[in-house]
Amino acid sequence: MMIKKIFLIALLLGGALWYWHERTTLSEGKILAYYDQVGEVLEARDPDGLCKLLADDYQGIDSSSFGEEQGAERQFDKTQACNATREMYARFNGADKNVSSLLNLKYSYKVNNIKISPDKNTATVDVSYSLATAGNFMQIESHSIDTLIRKKGQTLLLKSQSETVVTVVNRV
């Protein structure tokens, strides 16, 4: 009877440790699932869903250009990033009414490199993104070095440094 109790306690402790480990550590699978989730919320035009994928203390730096025009480097926190994303989707939704759903979004990404920290709590990810509208009317290409963390069972973006190029094709 005592051996059964010890075995049951050991089994429960092992399960609890496994559960804690899975909730608090990053793996390549969790990182790839994060970028898949980003794609789902982007294509669904869900800015609030995208904001939920950012850590509360998120910091980003983006150097973007629009066609041939080089833009300035911008720094932003979570609130600023979320507000800018909401504004972008509001513009897309307004324009979409005028161009017959030409702004259906297609997202793709390619992970170039993943470096997971020894404690498996953070990862640095070299990733390339592409976001295009139907018919490639507008194409957004970005290359980013992202820092992901695992917090409360969720993979979140803590930091990003990106270069973005936006191209619009004139359809005359």
Q: Are 140 and 20 in contact (CB under 8 A)?
A: no
Tell me which DSSP letter residue 121 carries.
S
51 contacts: CB under 8 Å, gap ≥ 6: 78, 81, 82, 85
pLDDT at 134 (0 to 100): 63
Q: Are 26 and 120 in contact (CB under 8 A)?
A: yes
Which position has the higher pLDDT, 118 or 19?
118
pLDDT at 171 (0 to 100): 53
For 126-159, write each residue's pLDDT tens digit.
999 988 876 667 788 899 999 999 998 899 999 9
For 49-60, write each residue's pLDDT tens digit.
999 999 999 999
Tell me which DSSP letter residue 44 carries.
T
Domain spanning 30-168, CATH architecture = Roll (3.10)
For 61-89, write each residue's pLDDT tens digit.
998 887 667 777 889 999 999 998 898 77
pLDDT at 70 (0 to 100): 73
Q: How far apart are CA 121 and CA 39, in angstroms?
A: 23
**Other CB atoms closer than 10 Å to residue 87's CB: what's the count?**
11
For 98-108, write each residue's pLDDT tens digit.
554 556 778 88
Q: How far apart are CA 145 and CA 148, in angstroms?
A: 10
The CA angle 126-90-141, to the nearest 5 degrees, is 25
Pairing of strands 154-168, 105-116: unpaired
DSSP 55-95: EEEEEEEEEEEETTEEEEEEEEEHHHHHHHHHHHHHHHHHH
